[in-house]
Amino acid sequence: MDFKESLKLNHIAEIVEGRIIGDPNAVVAGLNEIHVVRNGDITFVDHPKYYKKVLESAASFVIINKEVEAPEGKSLILHDSPMDAFNMLIAHFRPFEPAADMISGSAEIGTGTIIQPGAFVGNNVKIGNNCVIHANVSIYDNSIIGDNVIIHSNTVIGGDAYYFQKRESGYVKFLSAGRVIIKNNVEIGASCSIDKGVTGDTIVGEGTKMDNQCQVGHDTVIGKHCLIGAYAAIAGVTIIEDEVVIWARVAINKDIVIGKKAVILATSAVDKTIEGNKVYMGSPVMEVRQYWKQLAALKQIPEIIKKINL
């Protein structure tokens, strides 16, 4: 997430009430999670397991809960609870804005677009030309919809990320400041949910078609011309490359890549990165020919047991 204007690190430290290690006058351009962080960004780390990864990342600024020497070219903010500090920044720079109307006055809606009764369009939403937004669709703040997009009833675009940190007192929610971007010529079925990124963007690529009751998690990127069947559940921070086919009731884990032109047959579960140009099935998935061989072998087990007992 970019700040509307660049800020000095001492201003950021004042907001979170942290102590600077490094240059207080360094300029901060935005804030991001580690998987999308860029030079000029501030991020956070609160677990020793990830100190090295974050301190060596592209981030120019890190909120951290251990006093260490700032790496060359970086500055740190020391804070007892870095995630809380990061949430403070999100709440400060992208606060929740209550809606005043069903279609916000700050929304931009293109020529020829039809918005059916009961649809909600939030603040700063952009919808392109010749779209159809059916009844009771909710498009949350800052979402961007391209041209010739169809969204069917009861779908929610831009809900918060399902992202919590467990503590002794219970679960603490990681606030969401990202967006959903839906490219041109996409169709999204009824009662789907596409969550916005935490600090980055959840993206649905051009020409992709999604059936009813699908879930897409935060910061996931779906490529061009994909087909996604009903009840598919796609976790956050996943990359689905172009022309992938995902059939009904497929579950896909987080932080993995589905290769270009992969086909995943119905009711499968994907728990790791898979190559493109192959057909997969099973839970966990395997290439379909291997799956059928294993299934054929399993069917022989009763006969084998019968022979042994003889």
- Positions marked catalytic: 218
Q: With the C-alpha atoms ordered 282, 285, 289, 291, is the resulting torsion angle positive or negative?
A: negative
138's CB contacts (< 8 A; 6+ apart) are: 119, 120, 122, 155, 156, 157, 158
CA angle 202, 110, 143 (to 5 degrees): 20
Q: Would you call 166 helix, strand, or coil by DSSP?
A: strand
Q: With the C-alpha atoms ordered 108, 113, 115, 119, is the resulting torsion angle positive or negative?
A: negative
Straight-line distance from the first to the last Cα atom of the chain, in angstroms, rounded to the nearest whole number: 70
Quick one: which of 149, 163, 25 has its CA closest to 87? Answer: 163
124's CB contacts (< 8 A; 6+ apart) are: 104, 106, 107, 141, 142
Quick one: which of 211, 210, 193 has its CA closest to 202? Answer: 193
Q: Counting every residue, how long is the chain?
A: 310
* For residue 98, cis peptide bond before it (omega within 30 degrees of 0): no
Distance from C-alpha of 87 to C-alpha of 142, rounded to nearest angstrom: 18
Instruction: For residue 199, give Cα distances in angstroms to 31, 174, 202, 305.
Output: 7, 10, 10, 56
Instruction: For residue 129, give Cα distances in angstroms to 106, 153, 238.
Output: 17, 19, 29
In contact, 144 and 158? CB cutoff 8 Å? no
